[in-house]
């Protein structure tokens, strides 16, 4: 009897333990069904924005939007320059994306998963665009593989396209348990309703994914036969086609704890009143002078740039050493301007004449930094959230203009049109490239001049460009296209407008230049022999120094092209 009581007690005890186990959750091994995927989802988006910002910065420097100090390409950026970007991609985006995809699938948060796959695919392709072959298949496996081998760039691109297709399918997968709403920092995707069975946010993300596929096929068209794929996407036309569909990350105006401002604004609108960056002389000249000067200048001029001074009265050997230097002998002179019919010299030092106040710096100028922080032309209201230029002639400071409420223009409807124009000119699709060129220009100008109102910045009526001025620029560009002698010159006209519209997006500016060699009149580096243009970046030190299977690129490293770039080195400056 005593033994029976003991056995019965043990069975009851075991039954109680089982009930208790059902109530306990081990914090070191959480059930996937209860893990907080929202935190992963947010971290993926924030890491993605940080990754884009840093990758874009390098591309803008190489394409003369901001200065590359140089003085030559080999020494412009050391391996440590990319350590932060590399870590953000692998530990910020990929690590959290992989967890989000796994847990989100278990929890049936399919829209979250689809968005995450799209952001991951973009990051994968951008790493290839920057470095070439990089770890992917063996990456982020934790302790099971601490020395991942690199995959071929072409294979990563293919896997990224598959991931984009998976993301498209996930966006409309039935049985979704929830929708991200405001947690979707790009489109605020809400749940479907009877009236709107496919939410606008879902539609926009689908368009983004398909547009990124088009972008990938256009990037690789020189080495792969992507004609059918490009034709199918352009024919279907389910792409980023309107301003409301633009793929962009939006910043706020909060100064601290934490700062939500655009990083480029933070570096230029400083408490000291000194701008931190030099905008490239070439880009200033392209927007302000090349395609029409003065009252005929690009309508986006005062939105793109903010002048701290409105003339060059303060130019001196102390503030601008290049002002007393001899013009570099290798800078071209007497070139024909296809937009005005006049001749021009390659811009050098300060733009145009003594009344503009456009204060930048030449490509590859690594001379000392003079006391010109309160004189430099800096970033304007678009896209960096700065000040609109209304000839204030005052130095930068905190809380100017949009107070940092800028955007990262990751992909805009205008960009889609420029790809259409390129595809049409190449004969990939039967369409008029000039129609797409004009559409891209007008969409870009509209986006820029309407942007201040979206961030509560008032623009004086006299500053807003007239329709006649907009039409004048479009007419000059289309006329240059018509007068072009061959498709190479026509492509130059298209890519010049794409280049100007890409202000704030150095990733696609860098890709465009390596894919086409256009615009063809980029300013030379300040020294006559800068070495080979950077066809891909050196591998980061955190990769080559800590991974037993990694080696730095041969030679100078920078002359190694990515898999889709088969152009001759002589094409680039």
Q: How many other C-beta atoms are found inside a 10 Å radius of the C-beta of residue 31?
A: 9
pTM, whole model, 2 decimals?
Answer: 0.94
- The pair of structure tokens assigned to 337 is 């301007």
Quick one: three-class SS letters along 96-109?
HHHHHHHHHHHCCC
**Phi and psi (nearest 5°) for 250?**
-100, 135
Check residue 135 and report its DSSP letter: E
- The pair of structure tokens assigned to 464 is 């807003």
Q: How many other C-beta atoms are found inside a 10 Å radius of the C-beta of residue 187?
A: 20
> Which residues belong to CATH 1.25.40 in the chain?
37-189
Rg (CA), the chain: 26
- The CATH fold assigned to 263-405+412-531 is 1.20.120
- The pair of structure tokens assigned to 208 is 């983004």
Residues 420 and 436: beta-carbon distance below 8 Å? yes
CA distance 127 to 199: 31
CATH of 37-189, one of 1.10.3470, 1.25.40, 3.40.50, 1.10.357: 1.25.40
Nearest to 355 by CA among 320, 393, 318: 393
Spell out the per-residue pLDDT of the chain, length 573, in tens: 444 444 444 444 444 444 444 445 555 444 555 678 999 999 999 999 999 999 999 999 999 999 999 999 999 999 999 999 999 999 999 999 999 999 999 999 999 999 999 999 999 999 999 999 999 999 998 888 999 999 999 999 999 999 999 999 999 999 999 999 999 999 999 999 999 999 999 999 999 999 999 999 999 999 999 999 999 999 999 999 999 999 999 999 999 999 999 999 999 999 999 999 999 999 999 999 999 999 999 999 999 999 999 998 999 999 999 999 999 999 999 999 999 999 999 999 988 765 689 999 999 999 999 999 999 999 999 999 999 999 999 999 999 999 999 999 999 999 999 999 999 999 999 999 999 999 999 999 999 999 999 999 999 999 999 999 999 999 999 999 999 999 999 999 999 999 999 999 999 999 999 999 999 999 999 999 999 999 999 999 999 999 999 999 999 999 999 999 999 999 999
> Which residues belong to CATH 1.20.120.840 in the chain?
263-405+412-531
């Amino acid at each position: 009897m005593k033994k029976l009581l003991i056995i019965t007690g043990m069975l009851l005890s075991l039954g109680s333990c089982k009930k208790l186990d059902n109530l306990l959750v081990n914090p070191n091994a959480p059930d996937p069904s209860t893990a907080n995927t929202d935190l992963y989802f947010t971290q993926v988006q924030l890491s993605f924005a940080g990754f884009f910002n840093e990758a874009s910065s390098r591309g803008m420097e190489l394409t003369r939007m901001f200065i590359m100090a140089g003085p030559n390409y080999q020494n412009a950026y050391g391996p440590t320059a990319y350590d932060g970007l590399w870590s953000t991609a692998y530990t910020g985006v990929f690590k959290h994306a992989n967890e989000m995809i796994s847990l989100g699938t278990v929890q049936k948060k399919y829209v979250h998963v689809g968005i995450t796959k799209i952001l991951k695919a973009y990051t994968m392709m951008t790493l290839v665009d920057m470095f070439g072959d990089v770890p992917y298949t063996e990456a982020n496996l934790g302790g099971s593989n601490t020395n991942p081998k690199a995959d071929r760039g072409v294979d990563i691109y293919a896997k990224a396209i598959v991931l984009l297709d998976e993301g498209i399918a996930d966006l409309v997968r039935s049985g979704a348990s929830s929708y991200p709403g405001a947690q979707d920092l790009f489109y605020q995707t809400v749940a479907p309703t009877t009236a709107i069975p496919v939410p606008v946010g879902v539609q926009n993300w689908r368009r983004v994914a398909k547009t990124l596929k088009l972008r990938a096929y256009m990037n690789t068209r020189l080495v792969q036969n992507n004609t059918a794929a490009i034709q199918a996407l352009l024919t279907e036309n389910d792409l980023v086609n309107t301003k409301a569909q633009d793929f962009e990350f939006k910043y706020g105006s909060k100064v601290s704890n934490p700062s939500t401002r655009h990083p480029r604004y933070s570096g230029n609108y400083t408490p000291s009143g000194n701008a931190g960056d030099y905008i490239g002389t070439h880009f200033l000249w392209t927007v302000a002078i090349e395609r029409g000067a003065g009252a005929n200048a690009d309508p986006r001029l005062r939105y793109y740039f903010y002048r701290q001074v409105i003339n060059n009265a303060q130019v001196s050997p102390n503030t601008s050493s290049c002002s007393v230097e001899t013009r570099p002998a290798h800078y071209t002179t007497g070139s024909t301007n296809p937009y005005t019919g006049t001749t021009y010299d390659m811009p050098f030092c300060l733009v145009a004449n003594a009344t503009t106040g456009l204060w930048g710096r030449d490509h590859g100028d690594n001379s000392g930094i003079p006391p010109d922080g309160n004189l430099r032309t800096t970033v304007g209201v678009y896209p960096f959230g700065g000040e609109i230029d209304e000839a204030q002639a005052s130095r930068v400071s905190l809380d100017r203009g949009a107070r940092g409420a800028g955007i990262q223009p990751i992909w805009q409807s205008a960009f889609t049109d420029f790809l259409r124009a390129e595809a049409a000119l190449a004969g990939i699709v039967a369409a008029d490239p000039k129609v797409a060129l004009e559409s891209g220009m007008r969409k870009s100008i509209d986006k820029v001049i309407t942007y201040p109102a979206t961030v509560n910045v008032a623009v004086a009526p006299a500053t807003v460009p007239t329709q006649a001025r907009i039409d004048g620029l479009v007419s000059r560009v289309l006329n240059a296209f018509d007068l072009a002698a061959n498709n190479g010159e026509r492509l130059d006209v298209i890519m010049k407008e794409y280049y100007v519209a890409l202000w704030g997006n150095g990733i696609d500016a860098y890709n465009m230049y390596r894919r086409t060699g256009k615009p063809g009149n980029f300013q030379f580096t300040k020294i006559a022999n800068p070495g080979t243009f950077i066809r891909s970046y050196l591998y980061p030190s955190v990769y080559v120094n800590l991974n037993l299977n990694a080696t730095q690129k041969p030679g100078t490293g920078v002359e190694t092209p990515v898999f889709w770039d088969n152009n001759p080195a002589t094409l680039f400056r």
